Structure 1
Amino acid sequence: MSLGKVIRKYRKIKNLTQEEMAGRLGVTAPAVNKWENENSYPDITLLGPIARLLGISLDTLLSFREELTQEEINEIVCEADLKLKEQSYEEAFQWAKKMVEQYPNCEQLLLNIAVIFDSHRLMKGIPQDREYEEYICSLYIRALNSSDETIRIRAADLLVGFYMRKRQYDKAEKYLEYFSVQNPERKRKQAQIYAETGRIREAYKAYEELLFSDFQRSSMELHGMYMLALQDNNRKKARWLADKQKELARCFEMGKYYEISSELEIATIEKDADSVITVMEEMLSSAEQIGDFRKSILYEHLDFKEVKEDFISNLKENLKKCFQDEENYGFLRDNKRWQKLVNQ
C-alpha cells in the first residue's frame, strides 16, 4: 500500500478530516490532500509526527514489509485493472512497475501483475513492444525461483504459453521441465507443441497416453466413491456409481470385461443370485478379449504388451477360485448354475 493510501486509511480510522489532521501537524489541508492523492510526499521530518498522530509505527506508515496480505494484493490488482481501463497502457504499465519495485519480494503480486498486463496486451491488441514483452517475461522468470511450488508451476505454465504464442517452441519446451513428470499438464502441453511443430505421430501418442491414464484415474476415483457409498449404506448411489464405471469403460473402449466387472460387487452385496452368476459368466467369456482395447483407434499409436494365452488361462482360473469364496458367494452354494460355472 502506498504512503498516501496508508495516510488516508488510518486518518479515516481515527475519524479525522483532512483539515483536522493538517491543523495538528501544522500544515495546510491541501498538503494533506496532495499526500493522499500521491501528488506529493510529506517532508521527512513529518513522518514521525504523522505516525504518532495516526497511532501507527513508521514501518506501517512506510509499508516496510516483505509480504502483502492477500487482500492487499487483490486491491493492487483491482487498481491495475482500473488504470488499464482509464489510462493508456503505457501509463498503467509504468505505474505497475513502480508497484513491483515497492514490493520486490512479493512473488504473487509480481506474477499477478505480469498476467493482467500480458492478458490486456493480447485482448486489446496492443502493438508488440519489446520493452513490455521483456519486462513481463522477466516477472514470470523471477516467479520461477519461488519457494512456493504453486507459484513456480503457474509461472512455468505462463512462460510456456508466452513462447508458444511467439512460436518459439524450443523455449516453450524448456519451461516444461518445471512440471513434474507425473503432472498430466506437462504431457498435454508437450502434445500441443508436437502438433504445432508438425510432429503429428508424437502428438497423437502423447494424447493417447493421457487418455489411457485418464481412464485408470477416473475408474479408481469412481470406485473410491462407490466404496464410500457402501460405507454410507447408500445402495442406490452405489448402484448408480457402478453403472458410471461401466459407462466409463464403454466410453474409453476398454472392452466387455472392464464394462461388466464393475457390476459384480454390487450384485453380490444385493444377494441377487441370477445377476451375480450372469456377471460371472460374462467375465469368464470376455476374459479372452481383455486386451481388446489395444485394437481401438483411440490408442492406435500406443505400444502395448501382447496378452499371452497363459495369462488369459490364469485369469480364468483365478476368477473361478474367486467365485468360490465362501464369505462372498456362500449364498450360491446350492445353485446348480453356479456349480456348473465354477467346475467347468
Structure 2
Amino acid sequence: MELYIGEVINKLRKEKGITQEKLANALGVSVAAVSKWENKSTYPDITMLPLIARFFNTTIDKLLNYEMEISNDKVMELVRECATLFEKDTVENAISRCEKYLREYQNNLFLKFRMGSLYMMSIGSANSEKEAKKILKKAISLLEESSNSEEQEISETSKFILSSLYTMDNQFDKAEEVLLTLPKVNTDRDDMLIGLYINQDKLDKAKEILKTLTYKRVSNIINCLDNYVVISNKEKDNIKAKSILDIKDNIIKAFDLEDIYGASSCIMRLGIYTKEKDIEKTIQYVKKIVESSNKEYDLKNHLLFDELELFKGVHSKEYMLSNIKKIITEDTYDFVKEDQRYIDVLDRLDNMI
C-alpha cells in the first residue's frame, strides 16, 4: 500500500510555518533526509515516527492515516485527468489512476461521487463486456458510498445515478429501493419565489430562478417522452414511437435546444429505422447525428436560457464522437455498410475525431 507520510509531513510543517531545517534539527536528522521524505524518495525510519508525531502534537495513527484535504476544484482537476486517460490510454491505466486518488483521499465523498460518475460515463471505453461490467461495478460501489454524504445534493444525485446503474446491472429491486428513499416533492418553492420577486420588482432574481426552473421542466418533459418511446418500442408499436418522437422534436425546436438534445433524438430514431431496415431514413439520421454531435452548444444569447450554466462533463468532444461512431457501426447497420453515403459519413466522422 502506498504511504503518503511525506506529503503529510510537508503539510503539517507548512501549517506550523517552520522550515525543513528547523524540523530536521528538532528530530536530529539532516535537512536532506526531511527533503527526501517530503518528495517521496524515502520514508522515515519507523523509529522516527514517535518523534515526528510528538513534534506535530498528534498520534502515529493519525500521522499515517492523516486525511489530506482537497478542494472541489482540485477534485474536478483530478477527474478530468482521469477522464483523459480513459480517452487516450488503456482502461486499466485509467482505473489505476482513479484508484490511486481514491486511496489518497479515501474519506472524500465528493471525489467518490465524481469518480463514480466518471466510471459510469466511461463504460463506453470498455473493450469487452467483461471490462464494461467491471467498470459498472466500480461505479456502483463508489456511488453507494457517496449516497451517504451529509450534503443533500451529493446524496440525492448519487441515488438517482445509482438507480440507473442498478437497472443496467439488472438489479431492479435495488433500483426501486434507492428511488423510493428519495423525497417526493409535490410543490416547488421556486414557483412561489418567482411570483414573490416579480411582485417586489426584483426582476433579476425572478429571471435567474425562472430560467433554471424552465430548463429543468423542459428537460423533464423530454425525458418523459423518451420513456414513452422506450415503452412503445417494447410494445413493438413503431408508429406510436415515431409520433412521440415528432412531439419531442417539436418541443426541442420550439425551445431552440437542437444543439443539446438533437443527437439523443437521432439515436432513438435510428433504433427504429435500423430495425425496419429503412435505408433512406437510416442514412438521413446517421448524417444528422454526426452534424448534431459536431455542434458546440452555447446558451449565451438564448431567448429564455441566456447565460444559464450547464454541466458540460469531463470527457472531450473527440471521446463523445468516438462513442457515436461505436453506435452507428454496430452490426444493426450492416444493411447500409456498402452504401457510399454511409461510408462518406463515417469518413467525415473520422476526420472530426
TM-score, length of structure 2 as denominator length: 0.42
Bigger relative contact order (CA 8 A; separation at least 6):
2
Higher gyration radius (CA): 1
